Amino acid sequence: MAFNDRGNSFRGRDSNRGGFGGPKEMHNATCSDCGAETQVPFRPDPDRPVYCRECLPNHRKPRENRY
C-alpha cells in the first residue's frame, strides 16, 4: 500500500489571471465634470463621460427618489 496521495496537485492554479478581486487594469481618464484626472477600471469610452470618484455618485442613476 502506498500512501502517495499527498501533494496531489492541490496547488492553486495561477490565481493571477485577472479574476474577480484581482488587480484590475486601470485606465487614465479625465473626469467630465470637474476635469480631474482619475482612473477607471474599464476602458474609457470616448462617447461616454467619465467621472472621478467624487463626481461619480452625482451622475449615477438615482436609486431612489429622495427629496
- Write out the residues near Zn ion by the rule CB under 5 A: 31, 33-34, 36, 52, 54-55
* Residue 8: CB minimum distance to Zn ion, A: 52
C-alpha grid cell for residue 10?
A: 492541490
The nearer residue to Zn ion, 13 or 60, going by C-beta atoms, is 60
* Residue 50: CB minimum distance to Zn ion, A: 9
The nearer residue to Zn ion, 15 or 58, going by C-beta atoms, is 58
The nearer residue to Zn ion, 29 or 31, going by C-beta atoms, is 31
CA dihedral defined by 30, 35, 38, 44, rounded to 10 degrees?
-20
8 Å CB contact between 31 and 56: no
Distance CA 53, CA 29 (A): 12
8 Å CB contact between 25 and 41: yes
* Residue 51: CB minimum distance to Zn ion, A: 5
